[in-house]
Chains A and B, each alone.
Chain A
């Protein structure tokens, strides 16, 4: 917190595959900064003229920065947003980084119906989303939280299934897994801190409308 906070608009962007697409969108509406790259060693990149600060963080941390108001707005995948269940405003579907959340199982041991997987183990990066999905189907499961390479779970006998995001399905196929149940679509979203949205309303709503025009044109 500081007084200069009022002057600047702070944008949190996630490292990784969403970064370039999000940065490109912001650039189109005139929001960019010298040296804005997720390879940058600088953690804060400022555009003094436009009074914008970009902070580049690990994906899962974006909603945290925004919820606490350390960043006014941010870009984050709906999957991460759902999982984090943070109290942030969701302003716009940026329609980039399209993917979906699903449950996948090994092709070889595929069971006839979903309920046949009741009380088995699920490996996932998204235990909350997975639990909400299986609960809605009346199923009790055992969740194993992993942080990456979820596909490995069933191969080495850690779990009977996985819940993960897929874009093209190549990784699933390479690891002889098959999508079994669809859970939800996910794209990157523009989110805002609830207090920032009120206090910096004019800037944030203008930015949202500018982005909306670009997104809808595509």
Chain B
């Protein structure tokens, strides 16, 4: 068989290797996050990378199916690689954990897969860290999840970022009140999701809405700012659903004050995550200079119903590679690189002492590499330097 060597050295589209430096940074970021999640009482779960397509599709956002990696099992049932973790956790909670005490606080750090155009910090295979809080329908749950997302950023060292909090029900409430036809509502939602303000204006202007309602609807994506935005939105809120949405945001904000994280928070009623999936408070985290959000999440009270267990829920997922890029950009990567401490080398006949010394240093918690053969002092010095170790320990 003729094999093209170059072909053998390729990896499939959208897959990447992590070389030692990046792998170490990634591991350290993961460790920081895993410890933080655990401290907040979130228990890690691990689910298989492969699920039945039916399962993933039942919990998935609009149009995600075409972005899944699919294949068949031996009975020709369609399998897929998970495209996010929330659905797998919903399946888990609705089956294996259905009798557990509520609320459930679960976390994960793992690979997910999406077959789509590779973007900044996102290949087809990428890492997500996140939490799910299931069985809590109160704004206290929304606030906890948002606060934990912010703490995740801070704990890894990130300082410049902004959290935008929105509310899906506010818009749904407004639209119900204005008696828009289903078709109009659908088109408005699509325009809002895509943030196509030109299309939005076009739909609104050709509708039968009053001029105030038209103006309000066009202003929606521009409701962005501090607490004062809630007052503005309150003035627009005109039925129970939209008033409740704003009141919930106020409550969330009060709690976020207690968490001490409001410096990073703005309200943005134009933050629209998938309408078909999210049902309440939603949020996204942005960093300067990165074109896509680093982290996103929100309330999805209807998802678990698809798996036969009605439970209100909220959560977030953050992209690890994007977080790593942002940390590098903000000069916060140094703390996440292990400093290589000792290189232990030895002259001929001194290997036993060298092994003993290396074990001792490692037990003391220092990163220590042992030379793999006897070296002269000059050789040892050269190795120590080129491999980037701080100290040379030479036994002779």
User: Which of A5, A90, A198 is close to B198, meaning CB atoms less than 8 Å apart?
Assistant: A90
A-B contact pairs, 10 of them (CB 8 A): A1-B289, A1-B326, A3-B329, A5-B289, A6-B160, A6-B289, A70-B291, A89-B196, A194-B195, A198-B268
Bound-state Cα–Cα, A2 to B196, Å: 28
6 tightest A-B CB contacts, nearest first: A69-B291, A1-B289, A89-B195, A5-B289, A195-B286, A1-B329
Closest chain B residue to A200 by CB distance? B288
B390 interface residue (CB < 8 Å to A): no
Bound-state Cα–Cα, A2 to B325, Å: 11
- How many interface contacts (CB-CB < 8 Å) are there between A and B? 76
Closest chain B residue to A70 by CB distance? B291
Contacts of B292 in A (CB 8 A): 69, 87, 194-195
Closest chain B residue to A89 by CB distance? B195
User: Which of A3, A68, A189 is close to B291, meaning CB atoms less than 8 Å apart?
Assistant: A68
Which B residues are closer than 8 A to A by beta carbons? 119-120, 160, 162, 164, 194-199, 222, 224-225, 266, 268, 271, 284, 286-293, 325-326, 329-330
A172 interface residue (CB < 8 Å to B): no
Which A residues are closer than 8 A to B by beta carbons? 1-3, 5-6, 66-70, 87, 89-93, 189, 193-199, 201, 205
Contacts of A197 in B (CB 8 A): 195
15 more A-B residue pairs beyond the given contacts A89-B195, A195-B286, with a C-beta to C-beta distance below 8 A: A1-B290, A6-B289, A67-B291, A69-B290, A69-B291, A70-B291, A90-B199, A189-B198, A194-B293, A195-B287, A195-B290, A198-B162, A201-B224, A201-B268, A205-B222
Contacts of B119 in A (CB 8 A): 68
User: Which of A92, A195, A205 is close to B293, meaning CB atoms less than 8 Å apart?
Assistant: A195
Report if A195-B198 is in contact (Cβ < 8 Å); known contacts: A2-B329, A205-B222, A205-B224: no
User: Which of B195, B198, B271, B288 is close to A92, meaning CB atoms less than 8 Å apart?
Assistant: B198
Bound-state Cα–Cα, A1 to B160, Å: 13
Contacts of A68 in B (CB 8 A): 119-120, 291
Contacts of B198 in A (CB 8 A): 90-93, 189
CB <8 Å contact, B291 and A193: yes
Report if A6-B288 is in contact (Cβ < 8 Å); known contacts: A90-B198, A205-B222: yes
Contacts of A70 in B (CB 8 A): 291
